[in-house]
């Protein structure tokens, strides 16, 4: 199981914390949560099957790459204002 990524980001004067983690092969999900003032304001839960369409779902490198991509996509959506509409 991969640990995940954490980022603190400020958008339009508001501080957010973004956390993306792998729940592992028993619970095969990659989950991103966006926090503001300690509260979850958005949660995105995607199955391994959705993000690891090619190759084995137990490949640690593939899971790590999927984690990184999902985390970056969440950050990009947050910055662009598309995530919290």
The burial class, CB within 10 Å (0-12 / 13-18 / 19+), for 54 is exposed
Does residue 84 belong to any structural domain of this protein? no
What is residue 57's predicted lDDT score, i.e. its pLDDT? Answer: 57
Q: 10-65 pLDDT, tens per residue?
A: 999 999 999 999 998 889 899 999 999 999 999 999 998 888 876 555 678 888 98
Does residue 28 belong to any structural domain of this protein? yes
Please count the structural domains in the chain.
Answer: 1
Does residue 85 belong to any structural domain of this protein? no
The token duo for 9 is 């980001």
Does residue 71 belong to any structural domain of this protein? yes
> Which letter, b or e, does each residue of 67-84 get, where b requires 16 or more Cβ atoms within 10 Å of its Cβ?
beebbeebbebbeeeebe
Higher pLDDT, 72 or 52: 72
What average pLDDT does this structure show over 70-78?
96
Q: Are 20 and 32 in contact (CB under 8 A)?
A: yes
**Domain encompassing residue 14:** 4-79
């Amino acid at each position: 199981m991969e640990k995940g990524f954490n980022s603190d980001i400020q958008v339009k004067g508001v501080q957010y914390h973004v956390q993306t983690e792998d729940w592992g092969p028993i619970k095969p999900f990659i989950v991103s949560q966006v926090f503001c003032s300690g509260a979850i304001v958005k949660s995105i839960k995607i199955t391994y099957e959705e993000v690891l369409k090619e190759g084995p779902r137990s490949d640690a490198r593939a899971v790590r790459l999927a984690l990184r991509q999902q985390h970056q996509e969440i950050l990009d959506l947050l910055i662009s204002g598309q995530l919290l509409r």
